[in-house]
Amino acid sequence: MATMAPDRPANPVSAPGLTMGHLALHYGKPEEGPLASRLLQVMGLVETQVLPLPNGNFYRFVANREHYARGDGIVYLSCLPEPQARLIEAIHQALHVGTDHEDDAVKGYRAMMAQDFEASFHFGFLVPTLEELEALVQALRELEASDPAFKGRIHVGMNRARRGDAEVDVRLDASPVFGNAARYAYGSAGVQVFVETDLVRAGQLGENMVFEFDYIFPDRASHILSVVEL
């Protein structure tokens, strides 16, 4: 059963509301900085600064050029700090991550993520047109297939909108990207693309990051980002 959230807070205030300021991300090794930066740019982020540091470049991106000189819409990217890298390694050793004796907790976590891209930490972007999102998926697939540096380091998954809206269903059935998608979103009138990569390290095991890219069909009062449907 779906529950609609109110359009406005119960007690509105006169001051402007919050905006999304920045997200700080890490890549694993100093030499992987340029690859991680290139991937973020393929995904649509705009690189605005590269600061060379002894332990790997520091990068600043914005979600789009409208945020170029502002304090919101920013993504920072830097090399994983050594104390954090040591902590991740200690966790991996204690839980036997990646071995034949991997802890059941790790196995359960991996099984959960295989069933639901959104089950753990991820960060989402909204894409203005479906055509841009389709082009992004095709570009990422081509990058992973043709560039040895990215081979096996990008995994793309997707959810299409739940069926029931004839216009949306027809468009997605004809899509070169979503036409064969077998997974469905927790809602209608929108699609989701998930990009998982170990070029950016995050999550409970510090292994990879999941980026989400969404498109919402216009003129729909209820959609995947306005209300969750079970």
* pLDDT at position 1: 44
Identity (one letter) of the amino acid at 75?
V
Number of Cβ atoms within 10 Å of the Cβ of 175: 19
Does residue 45 contact residue 63 with C-beta atoms inside 8 Å? yes
* pLDDT at position 65: 84
- Classify strands 123-126 and 208-216 as parallel, antiparallel or unpaired: parallel
Distance of alpha carbon 61 from alpha carbon 65, whole angstroms: 10
Residue 144: φ, ψ to 5°: -65, -35
pLDDT along the chain (230 residues), means of 10: 50 70 96 98 96 96 86 95 96 96 97 92 95 98 96 96 94 96 92 97 95 94 82
H or E segment at 80?
Answer: none
**Which domains, ranges and CATH numbers included, belong to the chain?**
19-80 (3.30.720), 82-115 (no CATH), 117-230 (no CATH)
3-state secondary structure of 21: coil
Asked whether the whole model's pTM tops 0.75, one would answer: yes
Distance of alpha carbon 193 from alpha carbon 157, whole angstroms: 6
* pLDDT at position 8: 54
* pLDDT at position 70: 83
Q: How far is CA 98 from CA 95, 107, 165, in A?
A: 9, 10, 43
Distance of alpha carbon 158 from alpha carbon 138, whole angstroms: 12
* pLDDT at position 222: 86
Does residue 208 contact residue 28 with C-beta atoms inside 8 Å? no
Distance of alpha carbon 15 from alpha carbon 201, whole angstroms: 36
